[in-house]
Amino acid sequence: MIKWWKITGALLILYTLVWGMLGPVPRLDILNETIRNVYYHVPIWFAMLFQMGISLWFAVKYLLDPTAKNDILSNQAAQVGLFFSIPGILTGCLWAKFTWGTWWTFQDPKLNGVAIAMLIYFAYFILRSSIPDEQKRARISAVYNIFAFVMMFVFIMILPRLTDSLHPGNGGNPAFGKYDLNNNMRMVFYPAVIGWILISVWILDIKKRLAILNYEAEHE
């Protein structure tokens, strides 16, 4: 049975996809119509961070209570988070092309930090696949997951605020909410954040169920 929050998530995404393209937006220099990307790029990153936070939570939980379910949830949430990082970075590259004139610039610490964070999580999955012993794999993965989340937070949230950055809200630049996220945009932006997070939870729920079924089949 489809739960209410799944329907809510789907409706919110539909609303933001349609009204995000048709609703009024501020007419700003350079950004122009590309400011609509804030409805998609930023909420997708929120969903990614939310999933990585869930992965961290169950990694810590596994170290305190080493059950297969905690390990499965931690692993599946990391997979969903990494999945959302792909459209997150692609929409960012598209936005950069129209506003900065290039798909990617190594002068921006946030872009570089995102790339490094993704590589750190790719290494997490490589680590898991390289350890045959189930309990040892889960324990080492949980410890590495904590390290990965901390490093991701440093590279994405802290370093860009301490150095020069082209991103809004970083390197001394004002955030969108402080100068051009008007009331019309807030009516789309906040539902988009909630919608993408709910969709990410829905995907995690499906992946968790499949992973648990596979685990039970292997251990019969």
Mention every residue, 6+ apart, whose C-beta is less than 8 A from residue 8: 194, 195, 198
Backbone angles phi, psi at 2, to 5 degrees: -75, 125
158-211, pLDDT tens digit by residue?
A: 887 777 655 554 444 445 554 456 777 888 899 999 999 999 999 999 999 999
For residues 95-100, average pLDDT: 78
pLDDT score of 49 more than 80 = yes
Residue 158 corresponds to which amino acid? Answer: I
Give the domains, in start order, of the chain with CATH numbers: 4-218 (1.20.120)
The label of the residue with tokens 């950055």 reads: 165
Q: What per-residue confidence (pLDDT) applies to 13? A: 93
d(CA 181, CA 186): 6
pTM recorded for the entire structure: 0.86
How close are the terminal C-alpha atoms of the chain, in Å?
Answer: 27
Query: Please, are residues 38 and 186 in contact by the beta-carbon 8 Å criterion?
Result: no
143-167, pLDDT tens digit by residue?
A: 999 999 999 999 888 887 777 655 5
